[in-house]
Amino acid sequence: MDTIHIPARITGRFPYMFAGKNIGLSVLQGWCQTFETLCQDIDAELGDDKRGFHWVQCKEKLGMARWHWDMGPDQDRPDVITKRVNNAVVKTKHLCGVCGEPGQIDLEADWMLTLCPAHTQENRRQQKMDRLSRIKAPKGVGELVLYLDFDGVLHHENVYWHPKKGPYIEAPAHYTLFQHTPLLELLLAPYPDIKIVLSTSWARVHGCTNAAKRLPPSLRARVIGATFHSKMDRHQFNETPRGMQVWGDVVRRHPKDWIALDDDDLHWPKWCLDKYVKTNEYEGISDPVVFAEIERKLADMAACLDLRAWSC
C-alpha cells in the first residue's frame, strides 16, 4: 500500500474505503470537504453491504482531482457511484486546492492548479521568489573581462565537426587547431586579473566546461562563463548577431570593463566598437596588426582600472 495523505477524520469515518490495495491516495487540503461528502454519499449508497468498495488512486492532475475506485471481486460497479464520483471530480475544477473557496486554473502558474484569487496571488509571489533564487548572479561583476571566440581567433576560421574525429580544420596543413593559444597566454600574462568569457559557438554546442577544456591550463583557469547559458532560448540565441550576444552578456554580467576578440564583425552595436578587436579570419590573433591592437586595448583596460582605483 502506498502513502495516504488524507485527513484521519475521513479515513477514520470510512476505514474500509482505505483498506484495499491502492497506488497512492492523496487529496489536496482544499478538496477534502468535497471528498468527505463524496465518501459519505457513497457510504449511504452502499448501505450495510460495502461490497469491497475502496479507493485505488486519489491524485491531482491538470488542476483537478482524479479519484479512482474499485469494488471487491465479482462485484458490479454501480452506475450511481460512478456518477457521484464524476460529479465531485468536476466540482474540484472550480475549487481552490488550498482552501476550497471558488477558484480557477491560473494559466500563469508553473503548473496547473485551481486556486482562489488570494492563493493565486500568493502562489505567483512564491514562484517569483523561487525563480529569482534559481538565477545565480553571474561571475565577473566589477571585473575585467575578455570575450573570446575560438574560430578565426585562436585558429583558422574554417572548422568542421566530424562525428568520430571531432573538430578539424579544412585549410592548408600549417593551420592547426588552437595554434595561437600561446600568443593569447603571452598577451594576458601581465594581467592576471583579467577573466575570460567564452563567446564562441563551441560553448553553445559542447557546453562551457567542455569548450574551456580545449584551452591550456593558464587560459582555462581564467574562464568564468559563456555568453550562452542553458536557461536561454537556443534558437533565439543562434539568431542573434555575435555582437549582440556579447552586449547581452555585458548587460547581465556588469564587468568593470571588457574587450572582445572575434573574426565576426557583423552587426556589432556602435557603442561596443571601441571594445571590439576584429581578428583575421585565417591568421586569428597572430596577424601583427591584430596582435598590436589587442596589446593596446588590454593595456588601456588595465590602465582604466588603475585610474578608477585612484579616483575611489
List contacts with Zn ion (CB under 5 A): 96, 98-99, 101, 116, 119
Min CB(123)–Zn ion separation in Å: 9
The four Cα atoms 75, 78, 82, 88 give a dihedral, to 10 degrees, of -110
Min CB(105)–Zn ion separation in Å: 13
- Cβ proximity of 282 and 175 under 8 Å: yes
Nearer to Zn ion, 88 or 96 (CB): 96
Min CB(230)–Zn ion separation in Å: 35
Nearer to Zn ion, 119 or 155 (CB): 119
Min CB(150)–Zn ion separation in Å: 53
Three-state DSSP state, 239:
helix
> 141: alpha, beta or left, given left = phi > 0 and alpha = psi -120 to 50?
beta
User: Quick one: cell of 290?
Assistant: 591584430
User: Which residues have CB under 8 Å from 32's CB, separation 6+?
Assistant: 6, 7, 10, 100
Residue 230 is classified by DSSP as: T
User: Quick one: cell of 184?
Assistant: 593569447
Burial of 39 (0-12, 13-18, 19+ CB in 10 A): buried
Residue 63 is classified by DSSP as: B
Q: Which residue has the cell 449511504?
A: 44
CB atoms within 10 A of CB 99: 14
User: Quick one: cell of 79?
Assistant: 452506475
Nearer to Zn ion, 45 or 101 (CB): 101
User: Which residues have CB under 8 Å from 129's CB, separation 6+?
Assistant: none
Min CB(98)–Zn ion separation in Å: 4
Nearer to Zn ion, 103 or 225 (CB): 103
Three-state DSSP state, 15:
helix
Nearer to Zn ion, 74 or 108 (CB): 108
Nearer to Zn ion, 120 or 199 (CB): 120
Nearer to Zn ion, 120 or 286 (CB): 120
Burial of 236 (0-12, 13-18, 19+ CB in 10 A): exposed
Min CB(121)–Zn ion separation in Å: 10
Min CB(115)–Zn ion separation in Å: 6
Min CB(274)–Zn ion separation in Å: 56
User: Quick one: cell of 280?
Assistant: 583575421
Nearer to Zn ion, 96 or 223 (CB): 96
